[in-house]
Amino acid sequence: MRMSGRLGLVTAAASGMGRAGAIRFAREGAAVAVVDIDAEGVARVVEEINGAGGTAIGLIGDLTDDDFSRAIVHDAAKAFGGLDFAWMHAGHPGPARVEGMDMEVWDLGVDLNLRTIAITTGEALPVMRKRSNGALLYTSSIAGIKGSDRSPAYSAMKFGVVGWTRSLAQRVAKDGIRANVICPGGVDTPMLRTFVARPDQDSTHNMDPEEIIATRRAGYPMGRPAQPDELANAALFLLSSEASYVNGAALAVDGAMTA
């Protein structure tokens, strides 16, 4: 098993890529704290993992709450006896508009894309230093490596996640802790629906999100968005010891979108 004996947490793990990752890591032998605001979703994922003979606990709360972003580290470490890895996957599309931007949505985007990862990371480092082979993983986007006219605000935040990861990797490498970031293109999850349906000036927003996704399919080099498992597989590699010399990498998993 590729994550045997590893102890960790995944945020935004009640749905989509986070859910797929939590289940995948557990299947590969990791103990996983499933972190999300959606209590029912968390319960389902925890039950699925434990029911299959794996080890999971649920940590339910709002990652815009600084105390919760801190507590998840200690709650997971207490339950499992330490912490080796953390996939800080939670994020938010932010506002699509530039003129007339909704600054509350901007703040929510900054909180969920950047603030929570800074807090959780700061709390996790001393805990991870107590064990060897710590691995941090973040989620950016192709919007974090390439500009997009649809999303200046989201790009600002997701470029920030890449910058954070690259700098942090250099800072903590000597502690035996790696930090990498995954950059998905479109992934078939609820967030993709939220993303495409944001109110914007070029206004496709009165269209049904499924219709928007269907009209944009031709824009995918592979003719389709990714499935969550395809991102979970990449996350598994980056968090496992197979990636022992992959550090500070921003891995595009985007079906050639940015190639």
Ligand X SMILES: NC(=O)c1ccc[n+]([C@@H]2O[C@H](COP(=O)([O-])OP(=O)(O)OC[C@H]3O[C@@H](n4cnc5c(N)ncnc54)[C@H](O)[C@@H]3O)[C@@H](O)[C@H]2O)c1
Catalytic positions, please?
Answer: 154
**CA gap 46, 183 in Å, rounded:** 26
One residue of 73, 145, 191, 257 binding ligand X per CB under 6 A? 191
109 binds ligand X (CB under 6 A): no
**DSSP reduced 3-state for 123:** helix
Q: Select 58 or 184, whichever has its Cβ closest to ligand X.
A: 184
38 binds ligand X (CB under 6 A): yes
One residue of 189, 232, 235, 239 binding ligand X per CB under 6 A? 189
Amino acid at 66: D
184 binds ligand X (CB under 6 A): yes
190 binds ligand X (CB under 6 A): yes
Quick note: the x/- pattern for ligand X over 123-162, rule CB under 6 A, is ----------------x-x---------------------
**CA gap 181, 146 in Å, rounded:** 15
Q: Select 44 or 97, whichever has its Cβ closest to ligand X.
A: 44
Within 199-258, which residues bind ligand X (CB under 6 A)? none
Q: Select 126 or 190, whichever has its Cβ closest to ligand X.
A: 190
Cβ atoms of residues 60 and 71 within 8 Å: no
Which segments of the chain does DSSP mark as H helices, in order?
16-27, 39-51, 66-80, 103-110, 116-129, 152-172, 190-196, 209-216, 228-239
Sheet of 31-36, strands arranged across = 55-60, 31-36, 7-11, 85-88, 134-139, 177-184, 250-253
96 binds ligand X (CB under 6 A): no
Minimum CB distance to ligand X, residue 75 (Å)? 14
- Helix axis angle, 66-80 relative to 116-129, nearest 10°? 30
One residue of 15, 121, 151, 240 binding ligand X per CB under 6 A? 15
37 binds ligand X (CB under 6 A): yes
**CA gap 251, 258 in Å, rounded:** 11
Residue with tokens 């064990």, as numbered in its chain: 131
90 binds ligand X (CB under 6 A): yes
Q: Select 91 or 255, whichever has its Cβ closest to ligand X.
A: 91
Q: Are strands 134-139 and 85-88 parallel, antiparallel or unpaired?
A: parallel
Judged by the rule CB under 6 A, the positions of this chain that interact with ligand X are: 12, 14-18, 36-38, 41, 62-64, 89-91, 112, 139, 141, 184, 186-187, 189-192
